[in-house]
Amino acid sequence: MALMSVADLQQLISTRIGEKMTLPETETAAVAQAAGRVLAADILSPIHVPEADVSAMDGYALPCAASCGDTFEIVGESAAGQPFSDGLAAGQCVRIMTGAVVPGGCAAVVMQENAALGADGRLRVLQDTPAACNIRFAGEEIRSGMTVLHKGRILRHADVMLLAALGLGRVPVYRRLRVAVLSTGNELTEAGEPLAAPGRIYDSNRPMLMSRLRDFPVETVDLKCVRDNLDDVIRVLDEAAQNHDVVMTSGGVSVGDYDYMREAVLRLGAIHHYKVAMKPGKPFVFGQMFRTWYFGLPGNPVSGFAGFDVFVKAALWQLCGACDIPQPLRFQAALTAPVAKSAGRLEMQRAVIARQADGSWTAAPCGAQDSHRILGASRANAYMILPPQAVSLNIGDQVEVQPFGSSFL
């Protein structure tokens, strides 16, 4: 299988998923808990917003447009939740608060800063107030029946505000996908246990992947670790594929003697692709076992970390039913140190980016960029995206950077 460009593999993944996936079943979620879930139906507003003509300001509701110097008799009050119920005759006005219903027969609201109370108790308008001034008309923002959110929307906090304003308590969302996470490797040791022999290491990938899955509307299932043995790997994957929507593994996808993942997946299903021109993370397996999608991330921790960002995130959103799949935020930054690179693969190097006083950004590379360097990845707050054809770069050169989502507000 040939080395594929990052963009081509991203496209292949989304095309394959688009062709073969079935949308998850629908359930409902309480609106306050729905941010981060994927909407399973269009939402039509059941009401007008505003529901009635209301005042945009604290001030006075006038029966007509007014000119500077006009005076009115104050005959009552309309507060939020307590409308003025009587009629209004010419020459009269009503004290009104923000959000209060504009009484019938009123044409404009003068804000209180533009009006004064005379010694005679009458209101004097201090600034020309045209008709419709400071009135929010019924249905002006949202008309009853209007589609306010589309199916496939990844709900945001502002959407919760919108849904709540429409009086909706629960909304239809897709059920959480079941995502299994499995590590492979004879050398792996669970946290808390001693490193029993030389060469043993702690499993950092599985906790990292499970942690990253917290950002998705999924149920994460910890399948622990499987030893480097083909029969064991096949047995565990076979079982995992029976009752999960997605299986994600780390390790065992390169060309070493104990790398059994590809063979196991091939026995159970199909591999759509496994080699990508990216660094870190050249081996990245995308496949299917029965109806379960498979992502085989490389064992080197930073390779898996980057592979998750570049390929898994968008695929997961698509599988969760999302239509507006979030794009990575990218912009330019100036290097504060030279960067070594040879032409060939796209590199996702790690850096600390910082905003300068003039609004521009700098990128300080995080030392050695080998794919096992977990400390540099931890210190970094962004990737530098160095395109395949790029070669070594100097201080001051502009690079494209992509912030880590969790590092910025």
By CB under 6 A, is residue 376 in contact with ligand AMP? no
How far, in Å, CA of 328 to CA of 403, rounded? 8
How is residue 144 written in tokens? 């009853």
Return the closest-CA partner of residue 26 out of 143, 152, 137.
152
Binding test (CB under 6 A) with ligand AMP, winner from 55, 78, 134, 250: 250
Compare residues 260 and 311 and give the one whose CB is closer to Mg ion. Answer: 260
How far, in Å, CA of 177 to CA of 33, rounded? 17
Residue 349 binding target from Mg ion, ligand AMP, none, CB below 5 to 8 Å by type: none
How far, in Å, CA of 41 to CA of 337, rounded? 50
Choose the stretch contacting ligand AMP; rule: CB under 6 A; options: 117-125, 244-252, 262-270, 288-296: 244-252
265 exposed, middle or buried (CB, 10 Å; 0-12, 13-18, 19+)?
buried
How far, in Å, CA of 272 to CA of 23, rounded? 20
* Three-class SS state of 405: helix
By CB under 6 A, is residue 203 in contact with ligand AMP? yes
Residues between 282 and 311 with contacts to ligand AMP, criterion CB under 6 A: 298-301
How is residue 59 written in tokens? 């001030």
Residue 206 binding target from Mg ion, ligand AMP, none, CB below 5 to 8 Å by type: ligand AMP
Binding test (CB under 5 A) with Mg ion, winner from 59, 83, 251, 283: 251
Binding test (CB under 6 A) with ligand AMP, winner from 50, 83, 152, 251: 251
**Least distance to ligand AMP, CB of residue 300, Å:** 4
Residues between 257 and 276 with contacts to ligand AMP, criterion CB under 6 A: 259
Residue 204 binding target from ligand AMP, Mg ion, none, CB below 5 to 8 Å by type: ligand AMP
| Residue 143 near residue 100 (C-beta atoms within 8 A) | no
Compare residues 187 and 397 and give the one whose CB is closer to ligand AMP. Answer: 187
Alpha helices (H) along 334-404: 374-379
Compare residues 245 and 259 and give the one whose CB is closer to ligand AMP. Answer: 259
By CB under 6 A, is residue 405 in contact with ligand AMP? no
CA 140 → CA 51, 52, 103, 108, 222, distances in Å? 9, 9, 17, 16, 50
Residues between 149 and 208 with contacts to Mg ion, criterion CB under 5 A: 185
Which positions lie near ligand AMP, rule CB under 6 A? Answer: 183, 185, 187-188, 201, 203-206, 250-254, 256, 259, 298-301
Which positions lie near Mg ion, rule CB under 5 A? Answer: 185, 251-252, 299
